[in-house]
Structure 1
Amino acid sequence: MAGTVPKPKASAEPDADGGAYAAMMARARALLPQLRERSSQTEELRRLPPETERDLHDAGLFRIVQPKRVGGSEFDYVALVDFAEAIGVADASVAWNLANLSSHHWMLAMFDPRAQDAVWKEDANALIASSFVFPAGRANKVDGGYVLRGRWPFSSGVDSSAWNMLAGIVASDDEADGIEYRIFLLPKRDYKIIDTWNASGLRGTGSNDVEVDDVFVAEPMTLEVADLAGGPTPGSAVNPNALYALPVFSLFPYVLSGVALGNAQACLDDYIEIARHRASTYNRARLADLQSTKIKIAEASAKIDAARLIMRSTCIQAMSDARAGHIPDMAAKTKARRDGAFSVNLCTEAVSLLFAASGARGLYTSGALQRQFRDASAINSHIAFNFDAQGTNFGRVALGLPSENLTL
């Protein structure tokens, strides 16, 4: 039962527009019963059911950070955490695709206006998938644009998407001046979807591979990663909101971190509800009377609350900095990546703690706990949440060494 444990009140609600944020959140929460009901179907399909996508579209949830000028809500960046958490309480796979696909409207707003028009003038509701695995793609500069080739993994929601943002490295005869990282926006007709997504966790995300074979991509349909480091972008002339001047890849973990938060909160709420009424199979002792049960609840809830505070405060501070025209330095950027990984790790620890405390009953596929445990592990496997990687890079910069992450 969601909401069993009181959640900390938000430190800064991003709602200065007459209650639009609260109204959108109410629509999101109204979907939770049917999303929970469909969770098994979502896993069986290995992608979101059509009716779930319709529900998200009808509620306007895919457009929470899309510019208002094309009908989006243009909420502050923290919305990606908040709405992913809200939907993640019902189903992490749905929350993952919601946050992921929503964030691509935010990123498209930073592209050349001609790219924005190519997508939004045809269909402002169009879904855009992605794969930001840069080494997977290679491009050569040609007259008027690039020729792109490669095969990319983990393109979540790709089957339902009309477009795809694919990352690649621009090849040249002489790379002495460094490697150029670039993002390429392609329509569905220009790539092949390969059905590879048979996974143990986040099964319903449809995160299949995509393949491109020497496709021409016009210059305006591409964006250099250096333009996403914070501050003005090629899209700033038509989208001046500070939301679209944020440093994209330093804040990348918070696109998806709310999914871990919602999944962990659901796990905690379900554990408490069961512990209130259940007796131990072994000795019939009421679980609610055991000191260990109370301690597990306290520890898991503390981890989840701390994670929420880290995620939201980072996003709120980033918006404040962008409004002031401040671009964070490398130390601040690697800190954001460190904290994104750390906060998701806290959520993973909370779920693991509760799964272990639930005993053999947690193994039954008829219950939600085994799915929450699998989803938590899958979320934590994303490179953005690998604390060894993010912590190492933070430590390098703290010691005066250059960042290993060239996208920052």
Structure 2
Amino acid sequence: MVMVARAKALIPRLRERAAKTEELRRLPTETERDLHEAGLFRIVQPKRVGGSELDYVALVDCADMLGLGDASVAWNFANLASHHWMLGMFDKQAQDEVWNRDVNALIASSFIFPAGRARKVEGGYRLSGSWPFSSGVASCEWNMLASVVSSDDEADGIEYRIFLIHKSDYVIADTWNAVGLRGTGSNDVEVRDAFVPTWMTVAVNDLGGGETPGSAVNPSALYTLPVFSLFPYVLSGVGLGNAQACLDDYVDIARHRASTYNRTKLGDMQSTQIKIAEASAKIDAARLIMRLSCIEAMADARRGHIPDMAAKTKLRRDGAFSVNLCTEAVSMLFAASGARGLFMSGVLQRQFRDGHAVNSHLAFNFDAAGTNFGRVALGLPSENLTL
């Protein structure tokens, strides 16, 4: 695939800039420029506006490749690229508002629904709230913010909706000083009573699979996928690439290094060989799970099949499980690297920190995903109201 090859070509540069990226706590300007020039941010953007409109699995494959260089870069790439995909499901008027100005415009997000409060007014909504973890927000012109919509009539129930707003309507708080994924600039944003027209919003119920408001102009199956069922796979490739990088670097070290205590070559030690085998098996299994989940979802969408709740909870289960496999592999390799792995000058410590930072995302919490899968399997209702 051309885009995967372009991502691969960036790996040496991303590795060279990794320390700078962590120091900045956001992507360097030159890295963002590289991603733009390679067309990577637009891999799942509709063809009608010049995007590549690749199959959904491209998000996993490209993040996997970029993660070999720097997980922070892969994380921001995957987040920001996926928002072009989601915008393709909004009303055409919202798409035109963004892409008629700039087809390369970057869009941040925070899909933490309880962080916001919206109320319906004539012509739209009034939105307020404070959202954490808006990755790459300093580079973005727009933001997709999730909120609960309140109603005076309790009989209306709870509505979950996503709001697309311009950067002039929110304030960024510089809060991102984290142990892992340090270069993602995942800062907080605050909105104070902003008006958002109805056509700049989309209901979560419209994103559960099948035709969306954007299908009228973007008829591809890509824009009929169930968004929040597939949510883990937006970012799962980051954990995958980071784990593969950790394995590759550990193998390279083991080939050339001798034990500090008895001068035995690490590569001659059976324990080293077993750790490499087990870690690589976990990573290979994770890659198969991630890619197959995305490929099967696209196949279902092409034949007009909307997954039932059991299938949706399985997607969430497998997304979390596969990333957990990657984190286990990284932890195993880091422990096997000994005291030398602790030095900040080495790459393994960053991969360890980044791997666990990826795994801390709620989408990869297997207890939550597994519990919900088990509930549905037992005939109980799903606890995830966005599926």
TM range, smaller chain: over 0.9
How far apart, in 1, do the equivalents of 2:361 and 2:37 lie?
A: 29
Task: Name the structure 2 match of 1:19.
Answer: none
In structure 1, what is the Cα distance between the partners aligned to 2:315 and 2:8? 28
1:230-259 deviation per Cα after TM superposition (whole angstroms, max 9, x unaligned)? 000000010000000000000000000000
| Paired residue type of 2:33 | R
Q: Which amino acid aligns with 1:157?
A: G
Residue 158 of structure 1 aligns with an amino acid whose one-letter code is: V
CA distance in 2, matches of 1:30, 1:336: 31
Q: Pairwise mapping of residues 234-245 of structure 1 onto structure 2 (< 5 A)?
A: 234-245=213-224
Match of 2:316 in 1: 337
Q: What pairs up with 1:370-381 in 2 under 5 angstroms? A: 370-381=349-360
AA of the residue aligned to 1:169: V
Which one of 309, 313, 337 corresponds to residue 288 of structure 2?
309
Deviation digits for residues 267-315 of structure 1 (CA, Å, limit 9, x no counterpart): 0000001101110001101111110010000000000000000000000
Residue in structure 2 matched with residue 50 of structure 1 by the alignment:
29
Q: After superposition, give the CA deviation of every residue in 1:102-161 in whole Å (9 maximum; x if it has no partner).
A: 000000000000000000000000000000000000001000000000000000000000
Q: In structure 1, what is the Cα distance between the partners aligned to 2:131 and 2:197?
A: 20
Give the distance between the partners of 1:27 and 1:386, measured in 2 at CA: 31
Q: Hey, what does 1:192 align to over in structure 2?
A: 171
Paired residue for 1:141?
120
> Which residue in 1 is equivalent to 2:197?
218
The percentage of counterpart residues that share the same residue type is 79
**Cα separation, 2, equivalents of 1:292 and 1:28:** 34
Higher helix share: 2
* TM-score relative to the length of structure 2: 1.00
Distance 1:245 1:261 in 2: 26
Determine the C-alpha separation between the residues in 2 that align with 1:167 and 1:130.
8
Cα distance in 2 for residues equivalent to 1:186 and 1:135: 18
Deviation at 1:24, TM superposition (A): 1.9
Equivalent residues in 2 for 1:314-393 (5 A)?
Answer: 314-393=293-372
> Could you list the per-position Cα deviations for residues 11-42 of structure 1 after superposition, in whole angstroms to 9, with x for gaps in the alignment?
xxxxxxxxxxx222221111111110000000
Displacement of 1:174 in angstroms is: 2.2
Separation of aligned partners in 1, 2:111 and 2:3: 29
Q: For the residues of structure 2 that align with 1:75 and 1:57, how far apart are their CA atoms?
A: 16
* 1:394-405 matches, cutoff 5 A: 394-405=373-384
Question: Which residue in 2 is equivalent to 1:33?
Answer: 12
Runs of 4+ residues over 4 Å off in structure 1: none
Find the counterpart in structure 2 of residue 18 from structure 1.
none
Query: What is the CA–CA distance in structure 2 between the aligned matches of 1:310 and 1:175, rounded to whole Å?
Result: 41
Distance 1:261 1:30 in 2: 18
Question: Which of residues 193, 206, 227 is equivalent to 1:248?
Answer: 227
Q: 1:288 aligned to 247, 258, 267, which one?
A: 267
SS at match of 2:384: coil
Query: 1:362: how far off?
Result: 0.5
Task: Note the residue ranges of structure 1 that are not aligned, 5 or more in a row.
Answer: 1-21
User: SS of the counterpart of 2:153?
Assistant: coil
- Aligned partners of 1:326, 1:92: CA distance in 2, in Å? 34
**Aligned letter for 2:102?**
D
Unaligned 5+ segments in structure 2 are none
C-alpha offsets along residues 156-187 of structure 1, whole Å, 9 cap, x if unaligned?
00000000000000001122332000000000
Question: What is the alpha-carbon distance in structure 2 between the residues aligned to residue 26 and residue 391 of structure 1?
Answer: 35
Distance in 1 (alpha carbons) for counterparts of 2:16 and 2:45: 29
Q: Distance in 2 between matches of 1:177 and 1:400?
A: 26
TM-score, structure 1 as length reference: 0.94
Q: Displacement of 1:205 after TM fit?
A: 0.2
- Distance in 2 separating the partners of 1:187 and 1:285: 59
Q: 1:102 is matched with which residue?
A: 81
Q: What is aligned with 2:140?
A: 161
Name the CA distance, whole Å, in 1 between partners of 2:156 and 2:281. 48
